[in-house]
Amino acid sequence: MEKIQKSEEEWRAELAPDQYAVLRRQATEPPFTGKYVDEKADGTYSCAGCGAELFTSETKFDSGTGWPSFWKPIAEENVHHGKPSGGYTESEVTCIRCDAHLGDLFDDGPRPTGLRYCIDSVALRFVKS
Ligand SMILES: [Zn+2]
């Protein structure tokens, strides 16, 4: 996937303030406030920064944490993350195309992966299928 590189000024001008805070400044939205926490419709979740398709409704699950949670991305190569090292040790998840901060990865997710991609709603754009 081709990299998208923009200056911080360009990102700041392009993104809403809450999106900029999460995507470019590693902020985390407060739990149970994001618009996709309880989204149950079928569709695709793309990166709010660059439009790369990252997750689908098929791997979304209710984690009870207050953030949209997925057990697998559409393609492993579309997201970057370190390896969670036990229980609740988190690892940052970023978009491989624009380097946006998306959320964090935990290893307490459901089968078959056992992973929980804990993603901020403002980092995503949902399109119903
Ligand atoms: Zn992106």
Ligand 1 centroid vs 84 CA: distance in angstroms? 22
Ligand 1 centroid vs 97 CA: distance in angstroms? 5
Ligand 1 centroid vs 24 CA: distance in angstroms? 11
**CB 70: neighbour CB atoms within 10 A?**
28
Q: What is the pTM of this model?
A: 0.92
How far is the C-alpha of 32 from the C-alpha of 4, rounded, in Å?
30
What is the pLDDT confidence band of residue 83, given thresholds at 50, 70 and 90? confident
118 is catalytic: yes
Ligand 1 centroid vs 75 CA: distance in angstroms? 13
pLDDT given for residue 86 in this prediction: 57
pLDDT mean over 25-51: 96
Percentage with pLDDT > 90 across the chain: 85
Which regions of 1-129 does DSSP assign to beta strands (E)? Answer: 43-47, 53-56, 60-61, 69-70, 79-81, 91-95, 101-106, 116-119, 124-128
